[in-house]
Structure 1
């Protein structure tokens, strides 16, 4: 009788997967370009770090990136030398702050802008399809950040805030043009005063830039605007050309914050669109820059760009780069036209700080000491319950009914793919109880494009299996690519590994340490590229468990 009761209790208990020894390792073809003493490597933040915005508080620099529908969102990085960065928090780290609903992974939080003013940090951001523009603040950039203050009068996306010398604050952002759009991508940059005490916009809203710096050329998507003031001039910097290979950065200036703004005669001040597409080790799609000054008067720019391994193919998403700003006749120039973004460059003068590697080849091993995951790990959308635990050297996740592919909130935790050539491995302990139960490693670009390797129960048997989804036409649970039956004793673990080599991927498992068996080799990993999968995110590598909760 006792045995029956125990069996029933076990069957009713939530099924869990226990992951340990998670190791990420990566390298790039560009590693052949060596950084000499006194130089730094680009990108400074590799893998899925788009839309960088930067600010300085004293001698410290703080940077934030877009995360779209991944959570926790808006990572906050700290540096004292502009080169070495440590993630100190996430501005969106509480489920109640926003609601991502069932949005696609490339919706939700776009293009945050961080600013420091009078002892307070500000982030303006847009929750696309989930509320619009909002403002959050913090006295300490580590957090906690305030609940959002919504700005319903501010339309569009890519909002930032500028504090003028007279104490006034201004919000500038991308929105629809003042008249009917004349062509796809026709947008405008708007400005409106913001009352800090009342926490709302005031006064008229006016256009600073319509179409772009050369309206006759029908430029598309002026976006990511920032205003800065230097030597009596107001400078408006913005991206143009969309976020693909036509991306660029332009600048205009005026004597009044509301304009009129005159464009720089030699715009763009940053682009790679005019370089040969067949050049070696290309960096492309550069733009969406933000500028910051150092205490000794230097100026630097952070911006996004990508590193393709093929014809506009990249799995790592848009990354954060750094270059100095050269002021020419009162105009800021990041890189003269025709010049390639360098992989190595002379570092800023401030002394280097120690930080976990975010650039160049490296290996990162996660021990899951707990009680929380590393700040750089994220899950799909916002969880409404705690279905995971981190302790004793393991990440334990509940095999829930929510699946990748459902636009739901599945049992997934992952970290960024930061190199063209990357591998992740882990050890999993999981007993699939019913057909459809699964747990293992996953490479996710979005709900419609992912790869999985792990333990699966199917047809009453347990398999080591590789599955993929390569578009909406594939089943939500994925297509079986390869599988082998496995027989594990109670409590026995299985080692899993994914290796990605540009547009190829290998999947393997080991029932005993070091005895790897390849399940699939040279699989098509271009399905994880932005060009194939679409969207604005990069590939995330992590763990996943699914099961029919009973």
Structure 2
């Protein structure tokens, strides 16, 4: 379901206030990364397959189609669902969380909300299990059509922890796995366990005894941290337990264990990890880091493939594009899967599946491209997200044909609720995002374009009326509250174009008031939009924003 003004109006009986909306004519995003300039040979594909903030991929096959879901944390709609016929070219077809009644993220930081969904397909039904962190706990959602509608969450109150997944055995039994605290008191920070319990599909609840399959990790003597993201799959009579280990940062890895019995005991592979980048030189060119959280699937030709998360860094530790979805083939050796041999770098270009399409392009999922929204459709494009769940209708496409009409709210980008801000993922280290808007007429209305990482780390390039003139300003929040870092007064104009450019840590902010592009501020610190500085688990986003000026917010929207 695509969310627009008409949909929101039907869900909320909230009156539209008198304050005039801000009109945006178009929004354009363009990326040009050096790593994406390398030509892709015939029969090959480009990594990541989903560039920009697409973490924690989980994959399932249904017939000749593949379906993939990602974490979305406190963004809405949540848990995007992608479809592919060849594992390389992906198209978003829906969201598991697409109705405000399903979940509520008010009061949460952006890196809370929905973590690490796992998707499975069984007997004509799609299943997604997930954890709504600080917003309900573990739950199950189902659909007969992966495009939706998906069911309301079915809560699983008897299990704690995170990262649940389902395994459907060939004897008709179903099992629920998840990460949770170990038995007794954890021995050290990051000491976790993988648990399993049988699951009743009819009642949609686990039952019977829970058992620890892994305590700590593959080598408990080394005090391994954050064993998580468990999946079980079966091949040639072996049950394989596939998990992430080491945390989702630079020490991230993927490990594998196997057993002849579903309840174990599980024997770890002697050549673990089967995927990591943690041992590679830190000064390598265009490094890919944080690799792990893999899910395996069998292709149409019998070859196995792994989807997993990783990040593209600059400056050693910074990544504004978040954790992205990568794809690599799996090589089987003596009954064990290996995603990538030790000391090998994750390739940006790799040989694709034998059944890969030779005619489709991977853009705008990855590679260098230009994407433009003319706001001339009756609903919002799937590329857009809200910051948390909207509680009132503040945008529409019907009142002004060919324009996005956005009603300013008193909520600013530092709110823990829902601001009038549309977010599109930053997918490139080098990019440009621009928009054209009708300059607000009402005093006290501010509008423009924002680059946002979370509620404490963002930039806002905005404009407001000042008598017969207009004031352009750049506001910055680097964790210490918003502050104005640049302003300029311009002659009054009906329309204005604004843009943000980024090149690794260098962000610049420009405008065109009818006399060509000029810079308001150049060389701003883009690292404050990087995950390692801002904290959390998400990537940067850009998009249009409108708000009521801080000095006029008392009593607004009430």
**What band does the TM-score fall into relative to the shorter chain?**
over 0.9
**Residue 402 of structure 1 is aligned with which of 411, 433, 456?**
411
Who is 1:9 aligned against?
Answer: none
1:195 positional shift: 0.2
Distance 2:97 2:103 in 1: 8
SS of the aligned residue for 1:279 comes to coil
- Structure 2 matches for 1:347-358, cutoff 5 A? 347-352=352-357, 354=360, 356-358=363-365
Who is 1:371 aligned against?
Answer: 378
How far does the alpha carbon of each residue in 1:9-53 deviate from its partner, in whole angstroms, 9 at most, with x for none?
xxx722211112211000112124321111101000000000000
Distance 1:528 1:114 in 2: 30
SS of the aligned residue for 1:411 comes to coil
1:357 positional shift: 2.5
SS of the aligned residue for 1:532 comes to helix
1:532 and 2:538 are equivalent in the alignment: no
1:372 positional shift: 1.3
Question: Any conservation in 2 of the 1:134–1:148 contact (CA below 8 Å)?
Answer: yes
- Structure 2 matches for 1:26-425, cutoff 5 A? 26-352=31-357, 354=360, 356-391=363-398, 392-425=401-434
How far does the alpha carbon of each residue in 1:348-393 deviate from its partner, in whole angstroms, 9 at most, with x for none?
0114163652111111011112221111210110011211112422
Who is 1:498 aligned against?
Answer: 500
- Residues 311 and 432 of structure 1: CA distance in aligned 2, closer, same or farther (over 3 Å): farther
Distance 1:68 1:96 in 2: 16
Distance 2:230 2:490 in 1: 55
1:461 positional shift: 6.2
Distance 1:460 1:148 in 2: 52
1:488 positional shift: 2.2
Who is 1:483 aligned against?
Answer: 487
Distance 1:456 1:221 in 2: 48
Who is 1:468 aligned against?
Answer: 476
SS of the aligned residue for 1:30 comes to helix
What is the total number of aligned residue pairs between the two structures? 532
SS of the aligned residue for 1:527 comes to helix
Question: Any conservation in 2 of the 1:43–1:320 contact (CA below 8 Å)?
Answer: yes
Who is 2:456 aligned against?
Answer: 448
Who is 2:518 aligned against?
Answer: 517
1:457 positional shift: 4.9
Question: Any conservation in 2 of the 1:432–1:462 contact (CA below 8 Å)?
Answer: no
Who is 2:446 aligned against?
Answer: 438
- Residues 455 and 160 of structure 1: CA distance in aligned 2, closer, same or farther (over 3 Å): same
Question: Any conservation in 1 of the 2:194–2:213 contact (CA below 8 Å)?
Answer: yes
Distance 2:38 2:275 in 1: 22
1:240 positional shift: 0.4
How far does the alpha carbon of each residue in 1:134-187 deviate from its partner, in whole angstroms, 9 at most, with x for none?
000011100000011000011100000000001111110100011211111100
How far does the alpha carbon of each residue in 1:373-428 deviate from its partner, in whole angstroms, 9 at most, with x for none?
11121011001121111242211111011111121210011110000001111101
How far does the alpha carbon of each residue in 1:459-498 deviate from its partner, in whole angstroms, 9 at most, with x for none?
9963111111000x22xxx211111112324xx1110000
1:243 positional shift: 0.6
Who is 1:5 aligned against?
Answer: none
SS of the aligned residue for 2:417 comes to coil
Question: Any conservation in 2 of the 1:434–1:460 contact (CA below 8 Å)?
Answer: no
Distance 1:460 1:403 in 2: 25
- Residues 17 and 231 of structure 1: CA distance in aligned 2, closer, same or farther (over 3 Å): same
How far does the alpha carbon of each residue in 1:57-77 deviate from its partner, in whole angstroms, 9 at most, with x for none?
111011000000000011111
Question: Any conservation in 2 of the 1:75–1:376 contact (CA below 8 Å)?
Answer: no
Of 453-462 and 149-158, more deviation after overlay is shown by: 453-462
Who is 2:9 aligned against?
Answer: none
SS of the aligned residue for 2:130 comes to strand
List runs of 5+ in structure 1 lacking aligned partners. Answer: 1-11
Who is 1:6 aligned against?
Answer: none
Question: Any conservation in 1 of the 2:451–2:458 contact (CA below 8 Å)?
Answer: yes
SS of the aligned residue for 2:507 comes to strand
Distance 2:321 2:264 in 1: 39
Runs of 4+ in 1 over 6 A off after TM superposition: 458-461
List runs of 5+ in structure 2 lacking aligned partners. Answer: 1-16
Q: Aligned-pair RMSD on alpha carbons? A: 1.5
